[in-house]
Chain A
Amino acid sequence: MTLGVDLIDTNDFGLSTSVNWSTNENEVTDLYGTESINLSPGASVSSRAVVGYPLGVLYGTGSKTNADGSFDLNSNGFPQITSSPMVLGDPNPDWRGGISLNMRYKKFRLNAVLEHSQGGSFSPRTLWVLRRFGTTQETANRLTLDQSLVNYKGTTVPAGTTVRGNVKDFGGGPVLLDENWYRTGIGGGFGDNQAYNFSIADATWTKLRDLSLSYVLDTPVIKNIGLNDVILTFTGRDLININNVDGIDPEINTKGVSVAQGVEYFTNPQTKGFLFSLTINY
Chain B
Amino acid sequence: MKKIFTKSILALLIIFSFSCEDINEDINANPNDILITDVEDKLFLTGAQLANVQLQVGHLNRISGMYSGQLIGFSSLYANIYGYSLSTVESNSEWFALYVGVLNNMRQLQENSTNTLLVGIAEIIEGHAFGTAASLWGGIPYSEAGNPEIEDPTFDSQTSVYNSAIQKLTSGISTLQSAPSGGLSQDIMYGGDKDKWIEAAYTLIARFNLHKKDYTAAVSAASSGISSASGDMRFSPPGIQAGDSNLFATILNGSRAGDLGNSSAGEESYLLQLLSNSYSTNRNHAKTDETARYGYYKINSTSGSANTGIIAEDEPHNMVTYFENQLILAEAKARQGSLADGLPHLNNVRAWLNSGGNLNSNHSSNPYKYEAFVSSDFNSGGIENADGVDANTAFLREVIEERYVSGFGMHMPFNDARRLRKSDSAYSVPFVLVLGPAGPYPERMPYAATELNSNSNAPAEDPGIFTKTEVNQ
Q: Does A186 contact B (CB under 8 A)?
A: yes
A82 to B464, CA, bound (A): 10
Known contacts being A33-B152, A184-B75, A191-B77, is A81 close to B453, with CB within 8 Å?
no
What would 9 A/B residue contacts be, using CB atoms closer than 8 Å? A84-B88, A184-B75, A185-B80, A185-B83, A189-B76, A192-B90, A193-B80, A193-B85, A193-B90
How many pairs, one residue from A and one from B, have CB atoms within 8 Å of each other in the complex?
A: 69
> Once the chains bind, are B89 and A192 in contact (CB under 8 Å)?
yes
> Once the chains bind, are B80 and A194 in contact (CB under 8 Å)?
yes
Shortest CB-to-CB span from B152 to chain A, Å, is: 7
* CB-CB contacts below 8 Å: A210-269 with B: none
> Once the chains bind, are B454 and A193 in contact (CB under 8 Å)?
no
Shortest CB-to-CB span from B453 to chain A, Å, is: 5
* CB-CB contacts below 8 Å: A75-96 with B: 80-85
Q: Does A61 contact B (CB under 8 A)?
A: yes
1/0 per residue A8-36: CB within 8 Å of B? Answer: 00000000000000000000000001111
Q: How many residues of A contact B (CB 8 A)?
A: 23
> Once the chains bind, are B81 and A193 in contact (CB under 8 Å)?
yes
Q: Which residues from A are CB-within-8-Å of B151?
A: 33
> Once the chains bind, are B76 and A186 in contact (CB under 8 Å)?
no
Closest to B453 in A: A35
Closest to A50 in B: B453
Q: Does A132 contact B (CB under 8 A)?
A: yes
Q: Which residues from A are CB-within-8-Å of B90?
A: 192-193
1/0 per residue B417-451: CB within 8 Å of A? Answer: 00000000000000000000000000000100100
1/0 per residue A174-210: CB within 8 Å of B? Answer: 0000000001111001111110000000000000000
| Chain B interface extent, by class | 20 to 34
Q: Does B86 contact A (CB under 8 A)?
A: yes
Closest to A48 in B: B453
* CB-CB contacts below 8 Å: A94-142 with B: 132
Q: Which residues from A are CB-within-8-Å of B456?
A: 33
Shortest CB-to-CB span from A61 to chain B, Å, is: 4
* CB-CB contacts below 8 Å: B130-155 with A: 151-152
Q: Which residues from B are CB-within-8-Å of A36?
A: 453
Known contacts being A35-B453, A61-B87, A192-B90, is A83 close to B77, with CB within 8 Å?
no
> Once the chains bind, are B79 and A184 in contact (CB under 8 Å)?
yes
* CB-CB contacts below 8 Å: B443-473 with A: 446, 449, 452-454, 456, 461-462, 464
